[in-house]
Structure 1
Amino acid sequence: MKRLLVISDVHGQIDSFHALLEKIDFEPDQDLLFLLGDYVDRGSDPKACVKEVRLLERQGAIILKGNHEEMMEKALTEQTPESIAHWAANGGDETLRSYGVAIKELYRKAAAGESFTISEELKSDLEWISQLNLYAQTDHYLFVHAGINPERSLEEQEEQDLLWIREPFFSGYTGERTVIFGHTPTLNLHKTFDVYFGSNNIIGIDGGAVFGGQLNCLELPSKATWSVR
């Protein structure tokens, strides 16, 4: 292995994703790539991002689930007006549109108590999402979408914390293993979209690309960074 590389929160921005992989000169047979979730929602082509991420997984990348994948999974499996509305409010419309589906129609059916079917293509991607891991670790690093509850051991973490937590993780983590996370745009952590290196052994890499920021990549152990806008 030549390099360990980490990217998070692509959010359907396939062109930026390709540009970043090209900029870092990613070589799947030499580099180990970790992707920390949120491949769908808000961007121009979430379906294409899922396709690319699944390809990268087949080439050896480590793929984790984000809270947006969780919202997508709940909306399409529970089929309740509440779960669909929650997903729609967080970019689900863009995701379904990339699959040729109107989220308003799914909501209408759910509100009327009718079940709905999805295409085989979308069903395949949904099944893939359902089996994604919530974290990965090496001897020195823990990779997770949102962070961890500092009051619980890794084995006792709850899914909602791994996918959604902000505080008390940011200020309360004191572990020896460095936690690499996405989910929270780094602008909210240190007033810039650059990678955030916390003083308490946490590294945030979500550059808020879908909010006008940048898509970041972190190399370990060198801590070199790349970004595209």
Structure 2
Amino acid sequence: MQTVKRLLVISDMHGQINAFNALLDKINYQSEEDLLFLLGDYVDRGQNPKEVIKKARALEKTGAITLKGNHEDMMEKALIGQNTEAVSHWAANGGAQTLSSYGLSIKNVYKDVQNGTLSLPDELQDDLEWIQRLNVYAETEHYFFVHAGVDPEKELKDTDEATFLWIRTPFFEGYQGDKTVIFGHTPTMNLHETSDVFFGKNNIIGIDGGCVFGGQLNCLELPSKTTYCVKEKSNNRFTR
């Protein structure tokens, strides 16, 4: 039986494939020995969302646990639901960069949705089907992994998917559970005025370093609580 030496957690890559690869190199990720959790938001805003999804899918095939983020949720609603309002919402949150990485323009997609004539490239369609299959949380004996957080007032079975993908303040302020919740979604700069991993006093750990906003891409190692990060420089290289 395989023995896992480390649990590793990364979130909110947002199309930044160079940072993602640099961080994986820095932590010396070994799929045979480590269990990697990816907490969503592979797409939008960064330079190459398509490549981040490709990397996440490859990592999944070698054992990584891949979860859905709210940006995948927006992408799914825009392209599968084919609703112009959903397309506009996605566009306002970085959807144009995602479509561009697949060779499409947000304006043309909006028009095609409006006219009922949207046809997607096979590669994008395949990635969308993968997104639809993603789980919204995972858990071990001691940890709960999720993109945004949990509703402290509800049981998991009574919680809708949107909560796991979008919740903020009620979770930060109200969670008092026994399991440590590891989450992304909210840049840690908004939680403790630094891009470093946030260790909350109420058993929550936020790892979104806001890399796409000029912060850093973080990785949390468990159970040691060791943290790693890469920071983008102006020349598009990364500090280690």
Q: Same fold (TM over 0.5)?
A: yes
Asked whether the equivalents of residues 79 and 115 of structure 1 are also in contact (C-alpha less than 8 Å), the reply is no
Distance 2:116 2:131 in 1: 24
Residue deviations 1:159-189 (CA, integer Å, cap 9, x gap): 1110000010001000000000000000000
2:220 is aligned, of 187, 207, 218, to 218
Return the offset for 1:155.
1.6
SS of the aligned residue for 1:78 comes to coil
Query: Which consecutive segments of 4 or more residues in structure 1 shift more than 4 A?
Result: none
Q: Secondary structure, in 3 states, of the residue corresponding to 1:49? A: helix
Q: Within 2, Cα distance between the matches of 1:63 and 1:106?
A: 27
TM-score, L = length of structure 2: 0.94
Match of 2:167 in 1: 165
User: Which of 187, 196, 199 is the aligned partner of 1:197?
Assistant: 199
Q: Work out the percentage of aligned pairs sharing the same amino acid.
A: 63
Structure 1 unaligned spans of 5+: none
Rounded to whole Å, the distance in 2 between the matches of 1:40 and 1:102 is 15
TM-score by length of 1: 0.98
Q: Are 2:87 and 1:84 aligned? A: yes
1:46 match: 49
Residue aligned with 2:169, SS: coil
State which drifts further: 114-123 or 58-67: 114-123
**Structure 1 residues 113-153: Cα deviation after superposition (integer angstroms, max 9, x where no partner):** 32311011101000000000000000000000000010001
Q: Within 5 Å, which residues of 2 pair with 1:58-73?
A: 58-73=61-76
Equivalent of residue 16 in structure 2, options 13, 16, 31: 13
Q: Which amino acid aligns with 1:217?
A: C
Aligned counterparts of 1:124 and 1:110: Cα–Cα separation in 2: 19
- Count of residues in Structure 1 that have an aligned counterpart in Structure 2: 228
> 1:109 deviation in Å?
2.2
Determine the C-alpha separation between the residues in 1 that align with 2:170 and 2:130. 31
